[in-house]
Amino acid sequence: MTDQNIKTETKIKLLKAEKNMILLAIIAFIILSIAEIMFFFAFIKHFNVVLIQFMIYIIISTVFIGSAVWHIKHYRKYFSCSTGMMIGMTVGMMSGFMMGAIVGATNGMFIGSLVGLSTGIGIGVWCTRTCGIMSTLESMMAGLMSGTMGAMISVMLISDNILLFMPILIGICSTTLAGMSYMVYKEHEEHRENLAKYDKYDMAIYLSAMFMFAIILTAIMVWGPKSILTVTIV
């Protein structure tokens, strides 16, 4: 075996975490798409293009957030405090912003803010709880601000092309989460060989969590309390 082949084989092994993250995202997207289609035909009595659009946003957001969190989990013990703060701010803000904006558009400022800030704070704190109190506080602040701002922006845009703005918002947030995963990969090159092994049970747990998360959000979006401004959206 030549030196070039050895380097290629080593690189493939070191990319195992990233390859599994992509595999998780693909499987999650398929499962969530099937689940949302079944939910729609089982519980929605009339065809609603707007509701379908927001259900797609839930699928995309859940896939990107869940995959990013899964990736972070396997590098987390090697994060410095500064890296943990950056990751906590990014994952807390993007997850809170997306979920706050989606639910805010369909249910109003109050429910949207509660969903957004609880999602952003919860995910951010979970991802950075081993990186020091500064990282945890950064995650909490990011989740609080983004959850309320996401819902607020959606409510403000209900009468001003919100259906055109939402794909832009979801696209930028998803790209940011993908960029964060790339940053984690690049910043911890020396630790890739020491990453824990991945098994099918770990992936199954995450897929189950993502499934429950998406279905609960969809149920809130359809049956949760709505403000007078958003009652006509879904």
Whether the CB-CB separation of 166 and 118 falls below 8 Å is answered with: no
Q: Is the pLDDT of residue 4 over 60?
A: no
80 vs 35 pLDDT, higher one? 35
d(CA 43, CA 36): 10
Q: What is the mean pLDDT of residues 1-7?
A: 45
Q: What are 183-222's pLDDT values in tens digits?
A: 888 877 666 666 656 666 778 888 999 999 999 999 999 8
Q: What is the mean pLDDT of residues 28-34?
A: 95
The domains of the chain are located at: 16-24+51-223
Gap between the terminal Cα atoms of the chain: 61
Whether the CB-CB separation of 141 and 85 falls below 8 Å is answered with: no
Phi, then psi, of 227 in degrees rounded to 5? -85, 170
Q: What are 138-172's pLDDT values in tens digits?
A: 899 999 999 999 999 999 988 888 889 999 999 99
Sign of the C-alpha dihedral, residues 188, 25, 58, 172? positive
Amino acid at 68: A
